[in-house]
Structure 1
Amino acid sequence: MLDTLIFLLERLFLLAHIKLSSLLPPHAKDSARCEREDPPGGAQRFQRGDLLEVPRTLFTHFGIYLGENRVAHLIPDILPALTADSCQIQEMVTNTRLLLGVLSKRASVRVDSVEDFAYGARILLNAMDGAVRSAPLPAEEVARRAERLLGGVAYSLLWNNCEHFVTFCRYGSAQSLQTDQFCAWLKSLIRDRRNVAVTALLGLLSMVCLGVSSGTALPTLLIPFTLWMAS
């Protein structure tokens, strides 16, 4: 059962994934690609209050640089709900801890080293500045906002994730371009009237295979009707 949930979650991440460079204007794309990728000298080149972005296979992870090789980031984690041992909790979050945190809607804003935050991936520096309309807040204010939020928080894959955390800290309002992309895809899916016919056909097939009952007849009627009214 857990394997199935993890598989579905990975598919959701894949659908929600957004290539930030596709949202940037041409000059911002070049800047992000040529000047803002993990600069030589590593953390020594990052400034307090910088927004760090790590593209990963299924999603993009974000954090705020606090100085002295430290990054504050919001990450799903089940372990704080299971133990109060700060030594165990402070260890790098494994994929299992992360996925169980997503499913249980538990997360924390924590501080890790730049290396642990990046997890071997390249780091983009302030790349979101070209995609968000609001101007960045002063760097010290950005870092202090992140520090004030350290600790356990409720987690939502769509409505309160690591991107909401960094945009609130850096731009003053929480938003997620990845969530916006997913919602736009979902809206287009619902408004596609071809799905009405597909769901009706699947409903009829379920009635043929499983027999006519309230468990098959109601979904066969209600799902296509709902999609039709929403399209």
Structure 2
Amino acid sequence: MAGLHPILVVDDDPKLTETLSEQLEMNGEFEVHGVGSANEAKTIIFDPDNHFDAIILDVMLPDGNGCELCAYLRKENCRTPIILLTGSDDEDDVVRGLDAGGNDYISKPFRIAELLARLRAQMRIYENSEDAVFNIGPYAFRPSSKLLQENNTNKRIRLTEKEAAILKFLYRSGTRSVPRQVLLNEVWGYNSAVTTHTLETHIYRLRQKIELDPANVSLLITDAGGYRLSSIIDK
């Protein structure tokens, strides 16, 4: 299910994981992976072939404490947003979870709409942070550095500020087509002096940098009225 935001749920309650998967995947925005223990979480998170845009982590796990796992992940330089789940809303527990490196904390039972709102908020914060790294095709994309790095060769591609902004907004849109005017407004603001020709010129230059064969594009696709990132994107 390429183009979706991959989310890892760490919880030993299979019914809860199943419910979260159904609800989070309902609108075609997220792809949920579930594991039931701290050890499984460590294995899947540190597998170099995996990437997650956020982690939903239960505090009570069969082989450890979620707060301790969170602290361990931060110690190992995992910067992925982490939302902690717990059956307790005791202030000390909340403080313990946040001190361990959790980005947010939500008590069971919770409303799925609230979890979704908090999840999206944390992802937006991360996307604008210095730590943000996104996988796009064969590249690791670091928006704050305006840099693409080819995963296999470590070749670096420098982007202009506008190129990085275009790529970042298209990434956030998944594989949905973004109309030219929307992309123009997002990157340049509501500036009447900037036309779609300006956008098309930047798209052309960006393709020269990122496409293996700019004459036969495979990453940055033109749709009727707009642009999108290809479904072959490695999330």
Q: TM class by shorter-chain length?
A: under 0.3
TM-score, normalisation: structure 2: 0.25
The structure with the greater share of residues assigned to strand is 2
Higher RCO (Cα < 8 Å, 6 or more apart) = 1
